[in-house]
Structure 1
Amino acid sequence: MSSAVLKLSKTDIQKLKNYYSDYLLNKNVPYSEFSAKKNGVNITAYTSGKVLFQGNNAEQEAARWGKTDPTTAKKSSTLPKDFASLAVLGSDEVGNGSYFGPLCVCAAYADKEHLADLRQLGVKDSKMLTDSQIRAMAVKIKELIPFKLLVVNPEKYNAIQPQYNAVRMKVALHNQAIRLLLEQISPTKPDAILIDQFTSEANYLKYVKQEAQRVEQKIYFVTKGEQYHLSVAAASIISRASFLEELDKASLELGTKVPSGAGRSSDELAAKLLRQGGIALLNKYAKLHFANTEKAKKLI
């Protein structure tokens, strides 16, 4: 399956939405404006302005709207041959871009024997699944393959964040999840470790050297890692399900729906919490270093 990415203005994204109006999908993709599927190509427009085309004719469909962004297309030439069929430990994270809710990082190990089972479950890029599908699928994945899930709630996140910038924090969590899962599956060793790339390889290695116990062998980095191995897709689904569960808990505690993302609704809820309990209350539910905190203060 090929993919292509465009960076478009809000006006152009609205044109896309109008064009694909007969093909819109009724599913809630995090941080997206809309999702559609036409002629076997999945189209997802994100609030950031990026539009992702996935499918056998993705590049041709994207070409209707402009030139694809070469910086967003990550080649898999660095991966070993037949990588998708190898026994791989993959990791991914969810929640990094959401003001409310935790940062969830998961490592999952999919050996050759379980790849067919994961395919049969329908495991794929979590952005192509609805929240209800993700919740149900995560339960089955957890029963099928080994995994290690780390959940950093906002209160803990805020305590760590002054010493760890966002990238270093994710490096530390990916490294820890991978290390703990390697210990869990020992003496079995994966053919490779694949991290869904969130920073350059050089940057990752720079930060991981600051960890007392680090994993550096057989690690590969690639964007959209879920397209190259089901272990990353499984890790993404488990992370996303955990993130949704934590948002549900927060919503129950606060008596109001807690949104994902970092939009206007997040500002408004943050302002409400500041009125109710000040920064101490907001600290329990939100990542305070986001710009939303200052925006919320202006709404009081």
Structure 2
Amino acid sequence: MMPVSLSISLTELEKLRNAILETGLKRTNPKSEYELLRIEDRDISIIVYKSGKVVHNDTDASRRVIDKILERERDYDLLLGSDEVGKGEWYGPLVVVCAAITPPDILRLRKIGVKDSKLLARAQIERLASEIIGKGTIYRDVTLMPETYNKMYAEFQREQKSLNDMMAWSHATAINSTLAYVSPG
């Protein structure tokens, strides 16, 4: 039986740890300094690492525990998130993307390895992007090529606005475009 791993953010780590402890499953002592929590109870084996990596055995019981804990956003039909990459000034475009996912997508994305892109190699990012887009994830982007970026930034400065204001505008535009797509009219 192959172990399954997924990653969570460090901010979610303590919540996950507490949620696992609340299940009442039998804990065992960590086997290394990198482990935060180790559960071994009947056919359930879960190891939570301080790095945010979670490894569990691929049994129905383990999957049920992990799925129940990580699908806490069920109350929402859609969850939106946006992020940017690039600076735009000289080297390439500024790209801001907003994606809309359903609560079940969260667990699927974690299982395929989605996490902070700063923690991923370029090849991993490209593989994940293909897989995410290939599964029909709804997203909209705002792409500002260097020339457009520089013109917009100059306009923002004339209006006594900062780069942060321009970034906020870019995120708001991507979010509004995504919302308009998922709920037209």
* TM value normalised by structure 1: 0.35
State how far apart, in whole Å, the 1-side matches of 2:122 and 2:146 are: 21
How far apart are residue 84 of structure 1 and its match? 8.6
Q: Deviations over 1:110-151 (max 9, x none)?
A: 111322221222111111110111011111111221001111
Q: Is the 8 A contact 2:83 2:171 kept in 1?
A: yes
1:182-234 CA distances to partner (integer Å, 9 max, x unpaired)?
111116xxxxxxxxxxxxxxxxxxxxxxxxxxxxxxxxxxxxxxxxxxxxxxx
Q: Is the 8 A contact 1:88 1:111 kept in 2?
A: yes
**Of residues 92, 97, 110 in structure 1, which corresponds to 2:101?**
110
Distance 2:129 2:83 in 1: 14
The separation in 1 between residues aligned to 2:84 and 2:116, in whole angstroms, is: 13
Does residue 126 (structure 1) correspond to residue 117 (structure 2)? The answer is yes
In structure 1, which of residues 23, 39, 52 is the aligned counterpart of residue 34 of structure 2? Answer: 39
C-alpha distance 175-57 of structure 1, shift in aligned 2 (>3 A): closer
Which residue is 1:287 aligned to? Answer: none
Q: Secondary structure at the match of 1:122?
A: coil
Contact 1:85 1:115 in 2 (8 A): no
Q: How does 1:79-158 map to 2 (within 5 A)?
A: 82-83=72-73, 86=76, 87-96=78-87, 99-144=90-135, 145-158=137-150
Separation of aligned partners in 2, 1:2 and 1:156? 36
* Whole-angstrom CA distance in 2 between matches of 1:129 and 1:105: 18
Amino acid at match of 1:2: L
CA RMSD of aligned residues (A): 2.8
- Distance in structure 2 (CA, Å) of the matches to 1:90 and 1:134: 17
* TM-score using structure 2 length: 0.54
1:129-208 to 2 correspondence within 5 Å?
Answer: 129-144=120-135, 145-164=137-156, 165-186=162-183
* Percent identity over paired residues: 32
State the secondary structure of the residue aligned to 1:96.
Answer: coil
Q: Distance in 2 between matches of 1:85 and 1:142?
A: 24
SS of equivalent to 1:161 = helix
Q: Structure 1 residues 134, 40: CA separation in 2 closer, same or farther (over 3 Å shift)?
A: farther
Report the number of matched residues. Answer: 117
Distance 1:85 1:120, change over 3 A: farther
Query: How far is the alpha carbon of 1:159 from its aligned partner?
Result: 1.2
Aligned-residue offset at 1:168: 1.5
Distance in 1 (CA, whole Å) between partners of 2:180 and 2:129 is 22
In structure 2, list runs of 5 or more residues that go unmatched. 1-8, 12-32, 37-48, 53-71, 157-161
2:59 alignment counterpart: none
Structure 1 unaligned spans of 5+: 4-37, 42-54, 59-81, 188-300
Which structure: greater strand fraction? 2
**For the structure 1 residues 57 and 128, does the alpha-carbon distance in structure 2 shift closer, same or farther, using more than 3 Å as the test?**
closer
